[in-house]
Amino acid sequence: MLPWLVAGVVFLIAATGDLLGPLSPGALLRAVPVFSSARVPSRFLIPFTLTAGVMAAFGVDTLQKRLGRFGNALAHLAVGALLIDCRYVASPNLRHMHGGFALSLPDSTEFHQLELLAARTQILAYAKANMGVVRCYEYTAFASAVRGADQPSYRGEEYLLGVGDLRATGLLAVRVPAGSSHVRLVYGRGPLWIGVVITASTALVALLAAFRA
């Protein structure tokens, strides 16, 4: 149980992000190459939930072994209370993730991004309306040449001056004529292979641990 407890504490601390300033876990973690693009520290709550679930299972097992039938009944009550909380408390509170209200926007017939500052707090609403938001990555401070559709210098989401390939910043949208079209997307950046190696290594370690257990 101790490894799961340690992992849970680490994930919970990492989820605090920049709460403590420049020396906070989130700021320090982004100095590591693999985590340099980690935008939302709260995503560490996902693996924390896994560790919390495993520790809860250890707790239920302990109750059943030490308290017999009473512990078994107590464990069932605890699980039942958790399910009721998920249904009637956790789910309704999800609306607060987006400011407590849902902005309704008309659908855009063509995808484009906006520089509008107010749009950064309603990214989901704009995404559902087939629009994007420039500089939606809150922590990034680097300069960017990206322009929104609501700016005078806007020239399109991604454009080519003649024949060529879309590289560098990546493909966001492409205009195609009516009828059947063939668009070929190729992704071969370095971080992809780093992610593949990390995922394969993690899976290998998990398999070895499972066989040794």
Q: Among 35, 41, 36, 40, which Cα is nearest to 16's?
A: 41
Neighbours of 48 (CB within 10 A): 20
* Nearest-angstrom CA–CA distance, 7 and 30: 19
Shared domain check, 9 and 60 = yes
Task: Please indicate, yes or no, if residue 72 is contained in any of the structural domains.
Answer: yes
Task: Please indicate, yes or no, if residue 208 is contained in any of the structural domains.
Answer: no
Structural domain ending residue among the three candidates 171, 186, 204: 171
Shared domain check, 117 and 78 = no
pLDDT tens digits, 108-120: 888 888 887 766 6
- pTM of model > 0.95: no
* Nearest-angstrom CA–CA distance, 134 and 146: 7
Of 91-95, 112-116, 135-139, 207-211, which range is least confident?
A: 135-139
Shared domain check, 73 and 6 = yes
Task: Please indicate, yes or no, if residue 50 is contained in any of the structural domains.
Answer: yes
Contact assessment for residue 150 and residue 116, using Cβ atoms and an 8 Å cutoff: yes
Shared domain check, 105 and 53 = no
Shared domain check, 103 and 43 = no
Taking CA atoms, 11 is separated from 50, 56, 158, in Å, by 10, 16, 37
Number of domains in the chain: 2
Task: Please indicate, yes or no, if residue 127 is contained in any of the structural domains.
Answer: yes
DSSP labels, 78-110: HHHHHHHHIIIIITGGGGGGGTTS----PPPSS
pLDDT tens digits, 27-59: 787 777 777 766 678 888 889 999 998 888 888
Task: Please indicate, yes or no, if residue 206 is contained in any of the structural domains.
Answer: no
Structural domain ending residue among the three candidates 68, 90, 112: 90
Read off the amino acid at residue 3: P
Shared domain check, 132 and 55 = no
Task: Please indicate, yes or no, if residue 131 is contained in any of the structural domains.
Answer: yes
Strand partners, 106: none
Domain that holds residue 68: 2-90
pLDDT tens digits, 74-97: 888 888 888 898 888 877 777 666
Task: Please indicate, yes or no, if residue 34 is contained in any of the structural domains.
Answer: yes
Structural domain ending residue among the three candidates 72, 90, 108: 90
DSSP labels, 20-52: TGGGSHHHHHTTSGGGTT---GGGGHHHHHHHH
